[in-house]
């Protein structure tokens, strides 16, 4: 190890030892920013739609006051933790706030994918609200757990997962095969579920697809199928060392470890979005198949064709989302800081 690497390691260790303090300050700062964001939206009458409040109009515009209240509450709780330490009641409030923020952030992945394809989101304010909520959920969870860890932590290397966990990528990969095949059939001009590739392209244009999306479709490459391939790559990387998943990656790393947050951030975001979205969708399709509820045919020629496509899509999202949840949890546990439980009576936030 060179002197420069030792210096960087020493700086990293010193920074890591103070992480409960900076997480607490960052959480308080987030609470102030989130409260200000909610106040601005409330005064301007901007609607903030989310999973907690999917409707629009005047009722949704009132959610700005709710956002402001949540931000103010987090600020007060964070300040209390910094002053009095992580008491049990404060820890409960942090976890409650984390859960509400995670629910509010639901759908952020869809907005990210939409922006990656060059399309605009339905509401910039709602997308910003989801992004801020996702950041808050991470900070609140980190702050709620910070009191359990000692300051002398070291991140462990990521080894391969257990044999049982390694079956999750197989299930997630196989689940996307029918979905990717269906999309590629349409992109290549073929017919599936009674609808041709030309009709599907016209539907995309009518729904406001971006130029990038339409260009890839004209080349026979469906953007969602490409994103599915990236998702499968991430899934395998979570259960095996990255050098085994993608050997060329080692040329860029040069012996260094992959930063823990780099695969965990998209994995947690994808798992929190796709798993509930797919499971709820499969449940709805089961009710449709049983005749309990009816399903609109949408852009398809019959309700049966729409049901077939729905099964392929929702089954892929559900199985992949669950597999991603299992793999992300395994990666989280295998790479978490190896530290001992702190028995100090002094608050780590002071």
The Cα 345–Cα 113 span in angstroms is 46
Which of 101, 119, 148 is the last residue before a domain boundary? 148
Q: Mutual orientation of helices 303-335 and 167-187 as an angle, nearest 10°? A: 140
Residue 322 domain boundaries? 167-337
Quick one: 213 and 134 in the same domain? no
Half-sphere exposure of 228 (CA within 13 A, CB side): 23
Measure CA 3 to chain center. Answer: 38
What does DSSP say about strands 337-338 and 195-196: parallel, antiparallel, or unpaired?
Answer: unpaired
Q: What is the per-residue pLDDT for 191?
A: 92
Measured distance CA(246)–CA(227) in Å, rounded: 17
The four Cα atoms 89, 90, 92, 96 give a dihedral, to 10 degrees, of: 140
Q: Is residue 162 situated within a structural domain?
A: no
Whether 344 is in a domain gets the answer no
Phi first, then psi, for residue 192 (nearest 5°) are -145, 140
Does residue 35 sit in the same domain as residue 139?
A: yes
Does residue 285 fall inside a structural domain? yes
Question: Are both 104 and 228 inside the same structural domain?
Answer: no
Domains identified in the chain, total number: 2
> Based on the domain organization, do 138 and 220 belong to the same domain?
no
Tokens, residue 58: 């005047």
Classify each residue of 89-118 as buried b or exposed e, where b means 16 or more C-beta atoms within 10 Å of its C-beta.
Answer: ebbebbeebbebbbebbbbbbbbbebeebe
**Is residue 38 a part of any domain in this protein?**
yes
In a domain, 342, yes or no: no
Q: Lowest mean pLDDT: which of 5-9, 74-78, 296-300, 327-331?
A: 5-9
Range list of β-strands (E), the chain: 154-155, 191-192, 195-196, 337-338
Residues 77, 175 share a domain? no
- Considering the domain architecture, whether residues 58 and 85 belong to the same structural domain is answered as yes
The whole-angstrom separation of Cα 323 and Cα 331 is 12
Report how far residue 66's alpha carbon sits from residue 44's, in angstroms, rounded to the nearest whole number: 14
In a domain, 156, yes or no: no
Q: Looking at the predicted structure, is the pLDDT value of residue 125 above 90?
A: no
Map residue 341 onto helix, strand or coil. Answer: strand
| Of 72, 74, 47, 73, nearest in space to 58 by CA | 47
- 346 has pLDDT over 90: no
Domain end marker among 148, 176, 204: 148
How sure is the predictor about 54, in pLDDT bands with cuts at 50, 70 and 90? low
User: pLDDT digit string (tens) for 308-321?
Assistant: 999 999 999 999 99
71 and 178 inside one domain: no
Question: What are 262-288's pLDDT values in tens digits?
Answer: 888 889 888 888 899 899 999 999 999
Chain position carrying tokens 């997962």: 161
Q: Which residue has the higher pLDDT, 203 or 157?
A: 203
**Is the Cβ–Cβ distance between 333 and 155 less than 8 Å?**
no
3-state DSSP call for residue 193?
A: coil
Residue 254, domain member (yes or no): yes
Q: Look at residues 13, 231, 46 and name the one whose alpha carbon lies nearest to residue 123.
A: 46
Residues 115 and 237 in one domain: no
Average pLDDT over residues 228-244: 81
Residues 6+ apart with CB under 8 A from 350: 82, 85
Q: What is the pLDDT of residues 130-168, one digit of tens each?
A: 889 989 998 898 888 776 544 444 445 456 678 888 899
Q: What is the pLDDT of residue 252?
A: 44
With a CB cutoff of 8 Å and minimum separation 6, the contacts of 165 are: 239, 326, 327, 330
The pLDDT, as a whole number, for residue 172 is 94
Q: Quote the tokens at residue 175.
A: 């689940």
Virtual torsion, Cα 284, 270, 23, 160, nearest 10 deg = 120
Q: Choose the weakest-confidence range: 4-8, 107-111, 119-123, 301-305.
A: 4-8
- Whether 220 and 271 share a structural domain: yes
CB 272 within 8 A of CB 106: yes
- Do both 144 and 171 map to the same domain? no
119, 148, 177 - which closes a domain: 148
Q: Does residue 302 share a domain with residue 271?
A: yes
Residue 105 lies in a domain: yes
Regarding whether 332 and 200 lie in a shared domain, the answer is yes
Query: For the chain, what percent of residues have pLDDT higher than 90?
Result: 25
């Amino acid at each position: 190890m060179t002197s420069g690497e030792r210096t960087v390691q020493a700086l990293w260790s010193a920074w890591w030892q103070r992480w409960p303090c900076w997480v607490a300050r960052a959480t308080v700062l987030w609470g102030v920013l989130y409260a200000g964001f909610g106040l601005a939206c409330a005064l301007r009458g901007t609607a903030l739609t989310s999973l907690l409040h999917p409707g629009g109009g005047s009722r949704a515009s009132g959610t700005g006051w709710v956002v402001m209240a949540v931000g103010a509450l987090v600020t007060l709780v964070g300040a209390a933790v910094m002053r009095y330490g992580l008491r049990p009641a404060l820890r409960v409030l942090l976890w409650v706030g984390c859960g509400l923020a995670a629910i509010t952030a639901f759908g952020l992945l869809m907005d990210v994918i939409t922006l990656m394809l060059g399309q605009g989101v339905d509401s910039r304010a709602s997308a910003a609200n989801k992004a801020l909520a996702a950041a808050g959920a991470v900070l609140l969870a980190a702050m709620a757990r910070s009191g359990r860890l000692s300051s002398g932590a070291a991140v462990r290397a990521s080894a391969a997962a257990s044999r049982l966990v390694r079956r999750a990528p197989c299930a997630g990969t196989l689940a996307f095969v029918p979905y990717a095949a269906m999309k590629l059939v349409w992109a290549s001009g073929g017919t599936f579920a009674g609808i041709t590739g030309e009709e599907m392209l016209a539907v995309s244009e009518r729904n406001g697809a971006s130029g990038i999306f339409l260009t890839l479709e004209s080349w026979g490459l469906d953007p969602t199928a490409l994103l599915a391939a990236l998702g499968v790559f991430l899934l395998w990387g979570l259960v095996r060392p990255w050098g085994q998943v993608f050997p060329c990656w080692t040329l860029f790393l040069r012996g260094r470890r992959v930063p823990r947050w780099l695969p965990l951030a998209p994995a947690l975001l994808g798992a929190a979005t796709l798993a509930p979205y797919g499971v709820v969708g499969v449940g709805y399709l089961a009710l449709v198949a049983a005749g309990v509820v009816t399903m609109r045919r949408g852009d398809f020629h019959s309700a049966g064709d729409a049901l077939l496509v729905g099964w392929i899509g929702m089954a892929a999202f559900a199985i992949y989302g669950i597999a991603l949840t299992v793999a992300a949890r395994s990666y989280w546990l295998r790479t978490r800081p190896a530290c001992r439980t702190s028995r100090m009576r002094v608050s780590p936030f002071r």
